[in-house]
Every structure is written in C-alpha cells, then in structure tokens.
Structure 1
Amino acid sequence: MLELPVSRRLLVVDPCDDCHQIVPGLRHIGWEVDSCELDAVNDRSCDVGLIRLQPFHLERPEAVKDMISRSGTEWIAVLSPDTLQLKTVGDFVCEWFFDFHTLPFDVSRVQVTLGRAFGMARLRGRSTDPIESAGHELLGESRAIRDLRKLLGKLAPTESPVLIRGESGTGKELVARTLHRQSQRHARPFVAINCGAIPEHLIQSELFGHEKGAFTGAHQRKIGRIEAAHGGTLFLDEIGDLPLELQANLLRFLQEKHIERVGGSQPIPVDVRVLAATHVDLEAAIINGRFREDLYYRLNVLQVFTAPLRERHGDMAMLANHFARFYSQETGRRPRTFSEQALVAMGNHDWPGNVRELANRVRRGLVLAEGRQIEPCDLGLETRQAPSLAMGTLEDYKDRAERQALCDVLQRHSNNLSLAAKVLGVSRPTFYRLLHKHQIR
C-alpha cells in the first residue's frame, strides 16, 4: 500500500513582498501555505510558522511571545539587514525562534530550514500530546494516578464527605477541585479554607461570619466561608490544624446543617458538601487529644490517598514538561526541554516536596537555563552515583536491576509502552508481566 504524503502547513505572518515571492515554490514542493496578520493568528493552525519580524514587533514582544506559545510549534523569523542591527533583536530571536533568515531569501536554505523545523515540531508535538489531550487536571499515566482518577469518578457524584490524605505537595486541593468539578454541584461555589493559615483569633469569624457590632472592629455584617459555599463544596485543607474549640463548632454544623454568625442568634441553614484534607496522622492526633474522634468519623466517610511523586513511576517527564510550558509566560522565556542528565537527576531525587517541589524547580530551571535544554544544575539537582547497596543474593540483584530498568524506560517512554518494551528487548506481554511483578503503574 502506498503511504500518503504527510501534510505540511506553513503560516506566514505579516508577510512582505519577498515572502509572497517564495510561496509558489514552497507550494510546488508540497507545503500548504496560508498567511495572515499577527492579530488573526489565533484563528489559524499550522505545522511551522514564518513571521516577517519588524521593529514594531520588538516594541510589543508580548504579542509575538503569546503567538509562539499558543501555537505549540516552531517559528522562523525573517529579518531585514536593518532590523538585524537592532540592539534587542539578537536575544529575542535566540530565545523564541527555531531559526532566522535575512532578506533577500536564499530559497534553498529556506526549504531546508522549514523541513528541519517541521521535523522538530512533530517531535515536540508527540511529547506534549498526553498533556494537551487530557480532559482533567490530574496529569499522569502512572498506575497510581490512573487509579486515583477512576476512584474520583466514583466518589464525585455522591454527597458524602471525603477525607483526602497524603504528603504535602501531592495535590490534595487539586483532588478536591476535581471532585467538585465532576459533581452535581459543579456550577455552584467551591470554597477552600486552609485551617492552618488563618490566625486562631480570626478563624471563627472567617468560618462562620459575624454580625455588625459582634466585636470591636466589626463595623458591618460579614458572610463566613461556610455560608459563602452554600449550594456548592466546602474544602477544609489541613483540617488537623483546626483548634479544638472550632472542631466542636464544625461538628455541630455537620450534624445540624446550620450555622450561627458570631454575635448572632438566628440559625442559618447551609447546604454544602464537605471535603477535608490532611497530611498529619489524625488517628495519632486523636490519641494525643488534639483532634476530636467524633469529628474524625463525620469527615472520614470516604477516603482518598494521594501518592507521593517518588511512587508515580513514569510521570516525572510529563509533569516537568507541563510545568515548563505553564511557567514559560511568567518567566518570559520559551518552554525548554530537559537534557538526559536532567531526567536522570530528577529520577534520582527523593522529592520530599512532591509535585509542588517539582513545579518550583522547573520554574527555577526556566529562569537559569542558558542553553536549549534545562540541565541538572538549573534545577538545583546534581547527578550523583547510586549509593552502594547491601550485599544480597544474586536473585536480589536481578530483581533490583529489573525494577530499575523498568523505572528508567518508563521515565522516557511512559506514553508509548510498545516502544518501552522494544527498548528493553522484550515482548509487550512480558513487559506487562514485569510491571505487574514489580507493582509498577
């Protein structure tokens, strides 16, 4: 069967006469060429972009940066000799463009550059597809995250309270927002309260509100967070940090479904679904007298555990690339990929701060990176040799090597298990058997 030629779409932005002159030749060799002004780029799609970069573009670079970031492809700048002499053009082109050409065009060189840009755009597109196509915010394809998404799909339609447990930085609030978004209450408010971040003398007023004149400084009535969530979802983050006195008030609200504002005497009915999260051991807190047992059982009707990042084998590169794209606008730099050494360093790191730490390190890496790729030193991670292991049987060594090989290949090819199996030189069924044996994914 003959293989159909791959469609190659080129978008020329703010074209000049020289640009128009090379279009027929490009169409002759298979390019589908379209053109538009910069303001209309969002309505077009392309595989490669070409923009006639002029001084007024450099005066408002945010518009060009936004165009490149949104397109998710490679762009080539076209510069006149005069524009090339401008002070700011060098750094801008090096940071945001795949390549550049000066006028007049060297047609053969343009064709080669377009071909290379097209190839790079396809590679970049394949690496980002899993994130762009995800219809949810819980990113990843590890077994832990797939099981979590499946569980949330079951829990979201219910009205029962959910206790979300996990280490700091594992995305407990993200889980709560997903439960709300997939519930029948999705069109109503989602109100999050960090019980450990509000000063103790203000927390009752923050939760329940107050009437005018209830205390010094209460110049007008204030609606509390619980009342503001009426009809929607109330998320109590770090519930283990809630003072005991407030725990009693919260328990009364959960039992009676109404509140009283501070300084008020009229009960106010409030309809909310309550989600709570904690990274502390509530069972131990109950034994130590720091958490009410009756409140624990009111909140712990359904339970969700968020896995630490070190157990999400294969998700590291996907999440790192997601954060690189997400923070590129904030840092004013184009999204960068990660070197092989950076991926290895990330795989060796323990990630005590979990996904939050990964996001912050990638943010740092975007700012510090000097080359096309982010290196370990940009992330604040150094490559290190694996620690020496205690002596064991030959079978122990084989198991450790087998598991390490699986984790390493998933780190690079988590979105293509057929390729992962091929890299290891095993069949796909054998690959799945090994994953199951080592309880990975």
Structure 2
Amino acid sequence: MTRQLRVAVIGAGPAGIYAADILTKSEVDVTIDIIDRDPTPFGLIRYGVAPDHPRIKEIIKALKRVLSHDGIRFFGNVNYGADLKLDHLQQFYDAVIFATGARADRDLDIPGINLKGSFGSADFVYWYDGHPDVPRDWPFDPAAESVAVLGVGNVGLDVARMLAKTADEQLVTEIPDNVYRGLKANAAKDVHVFARRGPAQVKFTPMELRELSHSPNVDVIVHPEGFELDEGSMEAIRGSKSVKLVVDVLQNYLAKEPTGADHRIHIHFCQNPVEVLGEDGKVIGLRTEVTELDGTGNVRGTGEFKDWPVQAVYRAVGYRSDNLAGLPFDNGTATVPNDGGRVIDIDGEPLPGAYVTGWIKRGPVGLIGHTKSDAAHTIELLLADIDKLVAPEQPEREAVDRYLDGRGLEYTTWDGFEKLEEHEIALGEAVGRPRIKVVPRDEMVEISRA
C-alpha cells in the first residue's frame, strides 16, 4: 500500500489502545482514531479496577504514552451505534477494529435473583469507580449486615473487599465524594464469598487474594467445609504456579486465627447457589446446594441444601459484551463471530475491513497481559489483508472532525482528557488526596472542552 492507511478503533480500553500501539509500530504508514462512548479513555482500567488497586492503575502510564503518539487521536463521548455506525466509519477508514470489551453482568438464572437487594457486580463496580452512567447513590440497606458475593474471580474479591473495608480507609484513593458517603452508609459486617467448586478451581490471582488481608479492620476467614483437593485439583496445582500460590494463600488463611476485627470476609467452598430467598420482595437469604469434587476438578451436587441468612446478594459471575450495530453477534458467547480477529458473517465469510480484539472477540477471560498478545494477532491479520482493503471515500483526517461537528456532537479529545485529569488532581490535592474523580458526564465534557 503506497497511500496512508486509516484505521478506526472502537473502544479506548487496553485492548483498543494496545491494537493502536502495535499498528503504529508496524512498517505501514498509518493514522488511527480511537473512539469511545465514555468521555475518558482507559475503559475498565478507569471504571473497572477497584480504587484501592493503584498498582494495577500503573498500566495507565503506558497507555498514556500510546495516546500521546502523533499518529493517534482520541474521540470520547461518541457512542458507536447511536452517533455513528459501520457504514459511516467506512467513509473515513480502510479498516475498523472493534475493542468494546464487556460491560454488562452475565445473567444468573436462579429463583429470586431479581429481588430487591440482589445486584450485579458490574453496576456496583461502576458506581464505586464513578462511572457517569450509573446512579450517584447506591441503595445500601442499613439492615444488611450479612452479604453474599457469588463468584470467585478477581471482581468478586474486589466487591467483597469494597463491602468489607471501612469508608474512611478509601479516603486515600480517588473515590468521588458520593461514593464515600455511600460507603459510610454500608452496614455490612460479614461478607460471604461462595465458590461452587474447590480451592484449586477459583479464578483469583495470588496478589488479589493476599490483598484481602491488608486492612486491619477485616479478618479473612476460609471455612474448612468443602476445602477439598481431589486428583484433578492436584494436577492443576502441579501444572500451574499461580494455582499453587492461590491454594497456599487459602491454606494460610484457613490456619490463621481471626483477630476479632469488626468486619469479616468469609470464603466458602463447594457451595452452589440455587436460590435467592425473599420476603416482601426483599432478599432475606441465600440457598446453596453442597457439592463435592468428582476427581476431575469438577463437582456434582449432593442433594444437601443450606440456607444462609444474608440481606443482600452481589453476583460476580462474569461480564457480557453488548451487541454492536451492523455486526453479527453470537448471543451464546456474547461475542462477535470472528476468525482469529476477522469479523465473519453468518455464512462464515469475512466482513471486509472489520476486525475485533479483546473481550468482544474472545469473551471476558484472561488478564490485561493477555489482551496485548490478542491485539497483536488481530493486527497481524489486518496487515495481511492490507491490499484487499477498500479505500475510504474521505481519507483525510479532518473529514472525521467535520462529520462529528456536523452532527453537533460534543466529543472530547486527548488534550481535553489531560485538562480533566489536571482538574481531578487539583481536587484531590486540595484535601490531601491523589485525585478525586469527576462523575457527571456533562461536567467531564465541559471541563474537557473548555
């Protein structure tokens, strides 16, 4: 290709930014526009990582270096599917890479899951991370002293930790004022985390699991019931250093005596949630079926049930991607059908110039590090297709600005985000904190576009 390649990336989280970075480092002359419906970049790093995880947020430093590249522009507050669609993008770009991630909670189809006091973890995470599209107030029940968390991935641990720690402990973080006030109203003393299988099958990472005990106000209690290691579990331990570390940490918690802290996180194994119990439309308990490992690392039900008196339930059973306008969608996997990253139609044929990377491509699995290698594979396919790509009618960069301006869209830019960041840091410095997030969308946009 002798002319400059023009590429749009839909989604400004790690998947999209990594894809842009890899593409700019190729031998192809390329300019890239990253488009996101949020006014800010970084996706789940800004709105999905718990505020007391500053080390994970260090990844933002590397992502910032990418977004400051002359060949990359950021357009925020632009919603794909509403403000523009695929046929609009094809007027300006040779190729479009969709990296929209997974934002919604996966369903958990058990009786009572829709009772008042039953929540999806995604909404709770977006609330405590200050996402502009969720309500400012979280409906904590002042009587909810015992809470259940369903799911044993890192999100489940984040939710449990945020529920168990005191609000004042979070004042060293960037939480907005409304989140601090909300957490002050949280009455939870006992947070019960339920695993359907055994300790070798949980999806925690060792670092996340260790950090549960870093608060002096929280005891971590691993219950011996269901703490089983069958032959399948031993194979997993022998085959993975991470699994071994997780089991070791859990065994240390199991052997440790509680300190008598005011708040407790309980971890229960071999308990399969089967019903959320209610009365007068509100959560009053959780029913689980006791399971047992079958020798392969999987479990079977025993027919024995147990009721747990909890007043709220948070399900953290995974995320689900949204259907994207103009693209095929597999409802079963909640992904865009693709062949290694090339979007394919219902007949299995590639959709010209359309690619996917990240969770919209492979589902919400893996850590942030996996996202980079995934993006590299998608970019490899795009570059292999370069001579087949259809040239856009309006390849000049200014054509996109004219289109967005013509639609009357109040889009944000990278320079605008830097203004917002300076504002948030100044808010924090005024009260001795690293930053305080601005939450309302219109306020973010106004500061960014000033």
Q: Same fold (TM over 0.5)?
A: no
By percentage of residues, which structure has more strand? 2
| Structure with the larger RCO, 1 or 2 (CA within 8 Å, 6+ apart) | 2
> TM-score, normalized by length of structure 1?
0.28
> TM-score, normalized by length of structure 2?
0.28
Higher-Rg structure is 1
By percentage of residues, which structure has more helix? 1
